[in-house]
Amino acid sequence: MATTRPREEAKFVDPKPFDGRREYATEFLSKCNNNIQFQPLRYSNDDLRINYATGLLDGAAYQWVTPHMSGPLEQRPAWLRNWEAFKTEFRNQYGVANAKEAARQKLRSLKQTGSASAYTTEFQIRAAKSDSAASSWRRLEICQLIEPVQRR
């Protein structure tokens, strides 16, 4: 009789350690969340998830969390015992105050300095981050204008 081996989870590359620079906060948290989501056996509870993310903190970000990590788990702040609460606290600490407005400003300041393809890609990234219906329509209209230029 053949034995079945436990199913192995995919292995993912850890995000770069986060040192507290706000411009990398969303990327860091997103990559941590993806790794946790796609490795449910490895990160099966909130304590493991939070330890994973806090283990990747460096510099100012590490200094932010360290005082809260001492002592027994049940005496730590609620955001260090619940993954969703941790993500909220992390965003409060390191997120851009008005990320959508900042993205809209970056979108408005975008200039084409290289290829049309590179410009379109950067435009789509910035438009997606601005996340407004109006910018989505503008993005679609502009992409339709750029496409014929790219084909030339």
Nearest 10 degrees: Cα torsion 9, 87, 106, 20: -100
What's the Cα-to-Cα distance from 60 to each of 83, 97, 146, rounded to whole Å?
21, 18, 42
Domain ranges of the chain: 22-94, 99-151
Burial class (CB in 10 A: 0-12, 13-18, 19+), 138: middle
The yes-or-no verdict on residue 78 having pLDDT over 80 is: yes
Q: Per-residue confidence at 133, pLDDT binned at 50, 70, 90?
A: very low
Tokens 């290829």 belong to residue: 115
CA–CA–CA angle 10, 16, 34 (5° rounding) = 40
Average pLDDT over residues 73-84: 92
pLDDT at 137: 54
Q: Residue 57 pairs with which residues in a beta bridge?
A: 18
CA distance 130 to 107: 8
CA distance 77 to 62: 16
pLDDT at 79: 95
Rounded to the nearest integer, the mean pLDDT of the chain is: 81
The yes-or-no verdict on residue 138 having pLDDT over 80 is: no
User: Which tens digit of pLDDT belongs to each residue from 13-67?
Assistant: 899 999 999 989 989 999 999 999 999 999 999 999 999 999 999 999 999 999 9
CA distance 119 to 91: 29
Cβ neighbours for 68, distance < 8 A, ≥ 6 positions apart: 76, 77, 80
